[in-house]
């Protein structure tokens, strides 16, 4: 297995770069320049991070196609896998970026004092996209299971787990950003963007004491469910079990968005002055 993983990262990066060049119809003469380009490498890293943010389900296809020899993929299997990749990969990447775009929109709506109902309605778009993306990734997994033999699948899973283990987020700031697209107003206040008087600090502390523990519990529940999704996929878990976890995440994220919007409204209506709000909402 060490032989399988030795060149994994390099092979995967090069595979992603070559795939991107093909999608953009880059000529062969420019291919080497593209691979050496810092901008292209950064763009590919961004795509990888976007996919990781959008779904906890493993991205098997790019790993297989960048490790064909190590996994003993024959010509017939390669053709089948390539056909699946051509059909599903562009759609999956498109949905992942759409999720990012919708979340940016929600972020701005919060800053613009949009009503809670409007933010919730917009957030439903991202939840629907995430569910659709999960379904497509499961379709891809099931097709991979039909194409690979048992040994190839086991080698793929060992390779994936060794090099791309589940990212169990524990740092609070990163955790909140991962599960919630709304601005982290409390963090901005803690960063001394504005100065609070004693009465404001008391009100803010009361709100935080009442709501922060629950928010952290919900956020950690999302991560636990994502880890379960990751592991179920690799262990050939049933589609209905994986999609049940996806549905549970949807319910939890609705609660998170509602609470975070209530936090914003509490800041605007009962704690901060208009000037203070303008300062933190402009950051």
- CB neighbours of residue 141 within 10 Å: 20
Ranges of beta strands (E only) in the chain are: none
Q: How far apart are CA 130 and CA 64, in angstroms?
A: 23
* Helix count and strand count (H, E) for the chain: 13, 0
Query: Do residues 88 and 140 lie in contact, with contact meaning Cβ atoms separated by under 8 Å?
Result: yes
Given this model, what pLDDT does residue 56 score?
96
Domain match, 54 and 150 both: yes
Give the residue from 216, 272, 242 showing the smallest Cα distance to 139. 242
Domain match, 22 and 63 both: yes
Is the sign of the CA dihedral 264, 265, 267, 272 positive or negative?
positive
CA distances from 274 to 212, 253, 254, 263 (A): 24, 29, 28, 16
Given this model, what pLDDT does residue 275 score?
95
Domain match, 43 and 154 both: yes
Into how many domains does the chain fold? 2
Domain match, 161 and 175 both: no
Question: 17 lies in which domain range?
Answer: 1-165
Domain match, 148 and 185 both: no
Query: Do residues 183 and 25 lie in contact, with contact meaning Cβ atoms separated by under 8 Å?
Result: no
Q: How far apart are CA 119 and CA 184, in angstroms?
A: 15
Domain match, 98 and 187 both: no
Kindly provide the b/e burial profile for residues 175-202, where b requires at least 16 CB atoms within 10 angstroms of the residue's own CB: bbbbbbbbbbbbeebeeeebebeeebee
Range with the lowest mean pLDDT among 18-27, 167-176, 186-195, 270-279? 18-27
Check whether 5 has a pLDDT greater than 70: no
Domain match, 183 and 215 both: yes
Q: Any residues with CB less than 8 A from the CB of 35 and at least 6 apart, and which?
A: 14, 17, 18, 21
Decide which of 165, 192, 209 is a domain's last residue. 165
* Tokens describing residue 13: 């990066």
Vertex 258: Cα angle to 48 and 185 (nearest 5): 70
- The model's pLDDT over 179-192, given as tens digits with 9 standing for 90+, comes to 999 999 988 888 87
Greater confidence (267 vs 46) lies with 267
Domain match, 46 and 152 both: yes
What's the chain's length in residues? Answer: 283
- Stated pTM of the model: 0.83
């Amino acid at each position: 297995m060490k032989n399988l993983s030795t060149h994994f990262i390099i092979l995967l990066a090069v595979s992603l770069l070559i795939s991107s060049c093909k999608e953009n119809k880059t000529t062969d003469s420019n291919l080497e320049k593209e691979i050496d380009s810092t901008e292209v490498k950064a763009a590919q890293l961004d795509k990888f991070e976007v996919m990781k943010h959008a779904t906890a389900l493993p991205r098997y296809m790019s790993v297989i196609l960048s490790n064909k020899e190590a996994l003993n993929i024959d010509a017939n299997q390669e053709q089948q896998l390539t056909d699946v990749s051509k059909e599903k990969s562009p759609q999956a990447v498109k949905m992942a970026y759409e999720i990012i775009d919708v979340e940016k929109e929600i972020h701005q709506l919060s800053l613009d004092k949009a009503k809670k109902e409007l933010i919730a309605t917009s957030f439903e778009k991202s939840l629907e996209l995430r569910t659709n993306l999960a379904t497509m990734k499961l379709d891809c997994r099931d097709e991979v299971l039909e194409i690979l033999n048992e040994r190839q699948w086991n080698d793929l899973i060992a390779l994936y787990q060794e090099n791309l283990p589940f990212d169990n987020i524990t740092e609070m700031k990163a955790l909140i950003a991962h599960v919630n697209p709304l601005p982290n107003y409390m963090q901005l206040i803690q960063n001394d963007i504005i100065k609070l008087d004693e009465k404001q600090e008391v009100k803010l502390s009361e709100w935080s004491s009442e709501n922060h523990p629950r928010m952290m519990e919900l956020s950690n529940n999302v991560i636990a469910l994502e880890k379960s999704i990751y592991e179920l996929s690799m262990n050939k878990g049933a589609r209905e079990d994986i999609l049940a976890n996806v549905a549970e995440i949807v319910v939890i994220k609705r609660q998170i968005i509602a609470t975070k919007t209530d936090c914003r409204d509490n800041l605007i209506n009962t704690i901060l002055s208009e000037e203070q709000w303008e300062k933190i909402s402009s950051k």
